[in-house]
Chain A
Amino acid sequence: MSIMLERVSLEYPNGFRAIREVSCGIGRGERVAIIGPSGAGKTTLLRLLATALRPTTGSLNLLGADPWRLDRAGLRRLRSCIGMVHQVPPIPPRQRVVTAVLAGRLGQWPVWKSLASLIYPADIRGAGQMLARMEIADKLFERCDRLSGGQLQRVGVARVLYQQPDLILTDEPVSAVDPALSDRIIGELNREAVARGVMLVASLHAVDLALHWFPRIIGVRGGEIVFDLPPVRISDAMLRELYASESAQVPTQDNRPLETVPPGVRRRPMYS
């Protein structure tokens, strides 16, 4: 097991318990989608895995270590092995695309190299390759505030691809992106995870994307895991139940109905 949560809870300073005694394990090379209504604790769960939050109780093991028992250097090294694609890419508007992508390796580069790279980009070719995979290679030297929302999100993904982390986390990476592009972004992240045999944990708003791309789906509601199953074993009733508090419909891209091929059995996920 490369990720192990044992009875992990998280309580925010305002007293809100976002995660309640969650236990689960994710093995090396596994690809997992987290779904659930808004406010279910998806983002909190991901931030726990990103070591951005510390569990209030329970124990957490990431890539073979308890992050909160490591010393400073050890924690930094661990963090440099974890990549996060944020919902809104955290990239300064006036930064150039090449710099924003190269920032993925700041955790691995020595300080002098990071600073020298601001004067002359240290690895233009490497950044260019990642942008080519996201089909925006022509934007290499563009400023980020000249990009559209979809292009900027692809820069954010390219940064994480360039980081080459052992654990890729994505927090609703495509909720502000059109369906065709969503499919391409999630597809590229899956290809990367499969090719390098690394873990991919993605929270997704659109259930159809999750069922289509991921061999394992974790449904979260009220800070607890409701189900943890492969997509073929998830019934429409379970999904309706999961989202019951939010809406009558299960959220999908453009509100399309969920595919079931053949009747009753959902399509197997890609790369499973």
Chain B
Amino acid sequence: MPRLALVVFLLVLLWPGFRLTEFDPAVLFEAHSRETMGKFVSTFFPLETSAEFLRLVARSTLETLAIATAGTALALLLAAPFALMITRTLSISRIGPGPGYVLGRALRLPVRFALMFLRSIPEIVWALLFVRAVGLGPAAGVLAIGITYGGMLGKVYSEILESNDTRPAAALLETGSGRMAAFFYGMWPVALPELVSYTVYRWECAVRASVIMGFVGAGGLGQQMELSLRMLSGGEVSTILLVFLLLVVLADAVSAFLRKVTA
């Protein structure tokens, strides 16, 4: 009965959400909408395949990949120490609780808050900020992704570590091992596949995010796409979309490969 009540409650909660967003699928099928959409989509064909444009797209693709990779790497460097700090299982003073417990808890709080702050501001806003600081170009995108994703990775890493079997690490701490050693001997081998898989997924998200940030001048495929859209050349847009698809397929393959290696 409480479960049923919960479902009803959630549905009641959802309804205003749909109303508020003016969500009405019927609009999609009205004659006027159909015609406008049809016109827009029809400009997408044929694909633009001139050698010059393809060279341009190839360059932008490399740039996008570089932004996503460098940004994710930066995020990783930022997230790893934070995740180790806020993971409760790795707190030695929590056993008992022992000396330093209150201080430890008090210190974890601002770290958690810092991570929340980093990820609460969308990467596009960071990008706008950094474009002003370091100028137009990929560097702004790298910084924006590094900061936002650092906050996300830190939180999710710590959640992954907590949701896996924590007994190995706890047992090590109980025999006097330090935090780092307990992590690398007790948690790393347990959680590695999940950590890798989530990081690769975030890298895939970073590819897409870097595209969006390209619209505000942070380089890569996005900047190219923005130009094509502004010049109303649908063929170019669809070529770029095809490249996106290939990138996602690539990310999937990389993820599958890494999971196999780490399993």
Listed stretches B79-87, B173-181, B208-216; interface member: B173-181
Q: Are A115 and B180 in contact (CB under 8 A)?
A: yes
Complex contact A76–B176 (CB within 8 A)? yes
The segment from A23-31, A35-43, A84-92, A197-205 that touches chain B is A84-92
Interface-located stretch among B2-10, B18-26, B93-101 = B93-101
Residues of A within 8 A of B175 (CB): 79-80, 82-84, 104, 106-107, 163, 165
- Indicate the size class of the contact surface on chain A: 35 or more
Complex CA–CA separation, A109 to B170 (angstroms): 18
One digit per residue, 1 when the CB lies within 8 angstroms of any chain A CB and 0 when it does not, for chain B 174-210 equals: 1111101110111101101000000000000000000
Interface residue? B110 (CB, 8 A) = no
Look across to chain A and name the residue whose beta carbon is closest to the beta carbon of B164. Answer: A92
In the complex, the answer to whether B96 meets A79 with C-beta atoms within 8 Å is: no
Q: Shortest beta-carbon distance, B118 to chain A, in Å?
A: 27
B167 within 8 Å of A (CB atoms): yes
A96-107 interface code vs B (CB 8 A; 1 in, 0 out): 000100011011
**CB <8 Å contact, A106 and B168:** no
Across the interface, A68 reaches (CB within 8 A) one of B98, B187, B190, namely: B98
For B142, the chain A residues whose CB sits under 8 A away are none
B172 proximal to A (CB < 8 A): yes
Interface positions of A from 49 to 94, Cβ below 8 Å from B: 50-54, 68, 70-72, 75-84, 86, 88, 90-94
Instruction: Tell me the bound Cα distance from A81 to B177 in angstroms.
Output: 11
**A43: min CB distance to chain B, Å:** 13
With known contacts A92-B189, A107-B176, A72–B184 Cβ distance under 8 A: no
Other-chain residue from A68, A81, A111, A163 in contact with B181 (beta carbon distance below 8 A):
A111
A118 CB–B CB distance under 8 Å: yes
**Smallest CB separation, B31 vs chain A (Å):** 60
A108 to B175, CA, bound (A): 10
- Out of A68, A92, A93, name the residue touching B186 (CB < 8 Å): A92
Interface size band for B: 20 to 34
Q: Taking CB as reference atom, which chain B residue is nearest A103?
A: B185
**Chain B residues touching A, majority SS:** helix
Residue of A nearest to B182 (CB): A106
A92 touches B168 (CB 8 A): yes
Asked whether A95 is an interface residue with its Cβ less than 8 Å from the other chain, the reply is yes
B96 engages A78 (CB within 8 Å): no
Q: Does B171 contact A (CB under 8 A)?
A: yes
Instruction: Answer whether A115 and B171 are a contact pair too, CB < 8 Å, given A94-B189, A95-B189, A108-B176.
Output: no
Is B92 close to A, CB under 8 A?
yes
Instruction: Output the least CB separation between A218 and chain B (Å).
Output: 22
B178 proximity list for chain A (CB < 8 A):
76, 106, 111, 114
The complex places the Cα of A88 from the Cα of B93 at a distance, in Å, of 24
A170 smallest CB distance to B (angstroms): 13
Q: A81 to chain B: which residues have CB within 8 Å?
A: 176
A72 touches B100 (CB 8 A): yes
* 12 new A-B contacts at CB < 8 Å, known A106-B177, A118-B184: A50-B174, A52-B96, A52-B174, A72-B93, A84-B174, A86-B171, A90-B172, A95-B185, A103-B177, A106-B185, A107-B176, A108-B176
Residues of A within 8 A of B (CB): 50-54, 68, 70-72, 75-84, 86, 88, 90-95, 99, 103-104, 106-109, 111, 114-115, 118, 163, 165
Q: 7 closest pairs, A vs B, by CB?
A: A107-B176, A80-B176, A79-B176, A106-B177, A90-B171, A92-B189, A114-B181
Selected A-B contacts with CB under 8 Å, 13 pairs: A51-B95, A51-B96, A54-B97, A54-B98, A68-B96, A70-B99, A72-B100, A75-B99, A84-B174, A86-B167, A92-B189, A111-B181, A115-B180
